[in-house]
Structure 1
Amino acid sequence: MDLVPLAERLLGIRSTADRPDELRRALDFVLDVVGPGFTVERFEAGGKPSALVYAGGRRPHFRVIFNAHLDVVPGADDQFLPRRDGDRLIGRGTQDMKLSALVLASVFRDMAARLPYPIGLQLVTDEEVGGRHGTLHQLEQGVTGSFVVIGEHSALRVVNESKGLITARLHAVGRAAHGAYPWLGDNALLKLMRAVDGVLTAYPVATAEAWRTTVNVARVSSGNQALNQVPADGTAWLDIRFPPQDSDFAGRTCDEIAAHLTALCPPGVTAAVDHAEPPHRADPAGVDVLALQRAARAQGYSGELLRKHGAADSRFFFQRGMDAVIFGVGGDGQHGADEYADLTTVEPYRRALTAFLEGIAEREGIAKRVAEPDGIAEAEGVEPEGIANP
C-alpha cells in the first residue's frame, strides 16, 4: 500500500495523447520511482516518448520484459483528482493502467539487479492511440525478450489471447445534383448505408459478449455541406475486431481484407484498409504462462486464462514470435466516468510478480551471475536464450 500515495500523484498527471509535456512528465515520474543504478534507454517516435530500463551497460535479450503504458484516454477534470472510497482508488487511469505500472516498476526496482537473468522495464506513452510509436517502435529498434508481462488490468487472471484489430473505410462515389431533383443525381450516402448494412449482415452487431468478429461503425461523413444537394461522396470508418479462428481476416493482407469487404458492398462502394494487425495468443501450456498462473493461485486468486476483446500491445510481441500475456490489478470502469482500481489486489499482484521472477531462476537452475568487464552480468553456465516460439 506504500504505492497508493505515488499512484495518486501519477494519476494527477493528465497524460493524454494531446498533451506531450504531460506524457513526458508521467514517464519521468515513473523513472524517478525506479531510481538510479539502472541503464535507461530513451526513445521517441511520432512525438511520443518511451523508455527501456535494465541493469547493466549493454542491452541484452531479456528473459522477461515488464511492459506498462502511462498514457490515458481523456476525461473530465475531476477524474484527474483521484480519491479513495474504501478499497477503491477512483480516477482516470487507476485501472488502465497507472497503478499496475507502478507495481511493475517497484518489482523491477527491487528485483532486477539481483536476479540471475536479465529483465527489462518497458514504459510507453501511446498505447491508447495504437502503440505504434511506443512498444512497436522499441521492437523495431531491436528490443527482444522471451516472455512479456503487460500490466493491463486482469484481476490477477492471465490474458493469453486477444482479438486482432482492423481499421477500414468504406468509400462511396455518386453524382451530385440539386436536392429537389434527386433523379438527376446518384446519392452516395444511400449507397454507403446499403454497404454498411451488407457488412453488418455478415458480422451482426453483438448484443452480448461473444468470441467472434465484431464491427463497430465509428463515423460516417460526406464532403457535401448543403442540405439541398445530393451527396456525391460518403465515407464510413469501421473498427473490426476478430479472433484467430476467423479465416476472413486472420492471416490476410490488407489488400485481401479490402477485397473481402468490397465484395459485401453494392457497386459504387469500395473498401480500404488502413491497419490490419493480427490477434495475439500465448501458448496456454507454456512454462511461463503456467508459472504465472501458479503465482496468482498462491496469492488466493484463480489465475484463470482469459480472452480479451480489445487489442493491446501484446500483438506487437506476438508478431515477432515473443510470448506475451496481460496480467494486472483488479478494478472496473475502464475509460468510464467511475473508473477505479481494487486496492486489495495490489499487494497480491506485487507478491505474485516477485514469486514468478524468483521461480524462473529455480526452475531453470540459474545459480548466479558473473560480472563481466563491461559491467554486464551473465548467467554462468547458461546459453543465451532464443526468442520463444508461441
Structure 2
Amino acid sequence: MKQEFVDLVDKLVAFRSVASQPSEKRLVLEFAEKWFKENNITTKWFDSKNSPSLLATVKGLEKKTVVLVAHLDVVPAPDKMFITRVEGDKIFGRGVLDNKGCAAILMLVLKRLKKIDQKHPTVKLLLTTDEEEGGFEGVGKIIKMKNILKPDAVFIPDGGGENLIVTKEKGAIHLLADFRGKAAHGSRPWEGVNALDRGWEFLNALKKEINYNEKTIKNKWKSTISLGRVEGGEAINQVPDLAEFGIDIRFTEEVDPVELLKFIKKKIKKIGRIKKIILVDRFQSDEKDKIIMLYQKTVNNYFKGRVNFGFGHGASDARHFNNLGVPVWLHYPKGGEHHGDNEWISIDSVEKMIYALVDFFSNLRKSDF
C-alpha cells in the first residue's frame, strides 16, 4: 500500500495546479477522472472557467451519505518541488500534505471500499481546485446545488494532525486598503500628513478593537492580526501621501464579524479607501457528535498516543458546510511545512490512516448517525 500511495501522489504533485495555471488544474482532475474510471468508480464533472471540480461516488446499501473533500490546487513553489523525493519515512513535494497527499489517501480508500461488500453508507469524494483561493467555485458553489452532495456527515483531511482532530477553525477577514495623506518634503514633515502613519494608527486601533496582544497569543484560541503587506512612499526625503496595507485578521467566536466590518469601514472611510475585503466564516462542529466520537474511537486503534480534539488557526472548506447541520471534522496524517520549501508527509502515517478510514467507513451503519 505504501508504494501505491507514493506512486499516486508523485503523479498528482507533478501537475503545477496553482491559481495562475487553470489548465494544470483541469489536467490534474482529468488524471483523477481517468484513475477513477480504471477502478470502476463513477464520477461527475463540475465545470468552471478556472476551477473545475470532480465528484467520485461509491454507493452503499445504507441510506446515508458521507462526503469526503480534498483539494488538488496548491500554492506556488519552485519547479523542484513538483518532483517528489522520498527520504526514509518522508515524502517531500508541493502539496504532499496540503492537500494532494490527502486526496491520494481518499482515492485509495474509495478504491478499497469499491471492492468490499456494500453494506456501508454511500461515500462521495469531492475533489476541488480552488481551496487555496477560498473554495467559492468548488465546495461553495456545489454545496448549493440540489441533490448533488446531500451529506449526513463530512470528513475533510485538511487540518489537524496524526493525534489531533479539528472540530473548529477561526474565521478570517482579508483587508487591502489605501490610506491617504499629504505629501511634503522630508525635512518639513509638519507640512504634510504621513499616509504610512495613518495606516499604522488604523492597525493599532484594529488590534485594540479585538483585544489582540502579540505577547500572549502563541498557539491559543484567540483572535489575531497579521500585517502581510505594506507599500508606500516614492523617496526617502518625501512624506508619503499614499500607503497600501494588506491585513490578515483571524477571529474566534469572541468577535462579531459584522460589527468588526462596520468598525473597519467607518475608520477607513475618514482616512482612505477599502480596495478589497473578504470575509471567511468560522467553522465549528460538536466534538460530542455520535459519528465524530466513533471516528475518534476508530483512529485511536491505529495511531500511537491518544487522538484528541482541538482547533485550527487557519481556514478550510469546512466552513461551507456550516448551515447544513451535519457533523464535520478535519484530520490528516503526520506531516509538516505545508506552503513551505520542505513540505512533507509521513508514509507510515498515511498507511495507518488509509487502514483506519477503510475500517471506519466500511463499518458505518445508519444507526451510527
In structure 2, what is the Cα distance between the partners aligned to 1:51 and 1:362? Answer: 26
Secondary structure of residue in 1 paired with 2:218:
coil
Q: 2:300 aligns with which of 297, 300, 304?
A: 297
Q: Is the 8 A contact 1:317 1:323 kept in 2?
A: no
- Pairs within 5 Å for 1:16-55: 16-35=18-37, 37-45=40-48, 47-55=50-58
After TM superposition, give the deviation of residue 86 of structure 1 in Å: 0.8
In structure 2, what is the Cα distance between the partners aligned to 1:112 and 1:276? Answer: 39
How many pairs are equivalent? Answer: 355
After TM superposition, give the deviation of residue 61 of structure 1 in Å: 9.1
AA of the residue aligned to 1:208: K
Residue deviations 1:87-118, cap 9 Å, x none? Answer: 11111111212122111012123325824432
1:236 counterpart residue number: 245
- Pairs within 5 Å for 1:145-156: 145-153=151-159, 154-155=161-162
Q: 1:187 aligns with which of 183, 191, 194?
A: 194
| Structure 1, 144-153 or 192-201: larger mean CA deviation | 192-201
1:205 counterpart residue number: 214
In structure 2, what is the Cα distance between the partners aligned to 1:198 and 1:262? Answer: 13
Q: Is the 8 A contact 2:120 2:361 kept in 1?
A: no
- Pairs within 5 Å for 1:1-390: 1=2, 2-35=4-37, 37-45=40-48, 47-55=50-58, 63-111=65-113, 114-142=118-146, 143-153=149-159, 154-155=161-162, 157-179=164-186, 181-201=188-208, 202-205=211-214, 208-222=218-232, 225=234, 229-244=238-253, 246=254, 248-249=255-256, 252-253=257-258, 256-261=259-264, 268=271, 274-301=277-304, 302-361=306-365, 363-364=367-368
After TM superposition, give the deviation of residue 345 of structure 1 in Å: 0.9
In structure 2, what is the Cα distance between the partners aligned to 1:205 and 1:285? Answer: 32
After TM superposition, give the deviation of residue 228 of structure 1 in Å: 5.4
In structure 2, what is the Cα distance between the partners aligned to 1:348 and 1:179? Answer: 63
In structure 2, what is the Cα distance between the partners aligned to 1:156 and 1:107? Answer: 20
Secondary structure of residue in 2 paired with 1:118:
strand
- What TM-score does the superposition give when structure 1 sets the normalisation length? 0.82
Q: Is the 8 A contact 1:151 1:326 kept in 2?
A: yes
After TM superposition, give the deviation of residue 177 of structure 1 in Å: 4.1
In structure 2, what is the Cα distance between the partners aligned to 1:5 and 1:55? Answer: 23
Q: Is the 8 A contact 2:223 2:249 kept in 1?
A: yes
Secondary structure of residue in 2 paired with 1:72:
coil
After TM superposition, give the deviation of residue 238 of structure 1 in Å: 1.2
After TM superposition, give the deviation of residue 349 of structure 1 in Å: 0.5
- What TM-score does the superposition give when structure 2 sets the normalisation length? 0.86
Gaps of 5+ in 1: 365-387
In structure 2, what is the Cα distance between the partners aligned to 1:13 and 1:335? Answer: 16
AA of the residue aligned to 1:102: A
AA of the residue aligned to 2:55: L
After TM superposition, give the deviation of residue 180 of structure 1 in Å: 5.2
Secondary structure of residue in 1 paired with 2:143:
helix
In structure 1, what is the Cα distance between the partners aligned to 2:139 and 2:234? Answer: 40
After TM superposition, give the deviation of residue 24 of structure 1 in Å: 1.5
After TM superposition, give the deviation of residue 46 of structure 1 in Å: 5.1
In structure 2, what is the Cα distance between the partners aligned to 1:190 and 1:219? Answer: 15
- Point out 4+ residue stretches in structure 1 off by more than 6 angstroms: 263-266, 270-273
1:367 counterpart residue number: none
In structure 1, what is the Cα distance between the partners aligned to 2:158 and 2:101? Answer: 10
Residue deviations 1:54-97, cap 9 Å, x none? Answer: 247xxx99620010111111112221221111111111111212
Secondary structure of residue in 2 paired with 1:336:
coil
In structure 2, what is the Cα distance between the partners aligned to 1:69 and 1:48? Answer: 11
Secondary structure of residue in 1 paired with 2:17:
coil
CA 183–342 in structure 1, closer or farther in 2 if over 3 Å, else same: same
Gaps of 5+ in 2: none
After TM superposition, give the deviation of residue 284 of structure 1 in Å: 0.8
AA of the residue aligned to 1:328: Y
Secondary structure of residue in 1 paired with 2:101:
helix
CA 34–115 in structure 1, closer or farther in 2 if over 3 Å, else same: farther
Secondary structure of residue in 2 paired with 1:95:
coil
In structure 1, what is the Cα distance between the partners aligned to 2:57 and 2:277? Answer: 35
In structure 1, what is the Cα distance between the partners aligned to 2:153 and 2:366? Answer: 16
In structure 2, what is the Cα distance between the partners aligned to 1:291 and 1:324? Answer: 13
| Structure 1, 143-152 or 272-281: larger mean CA deviation | 272-281
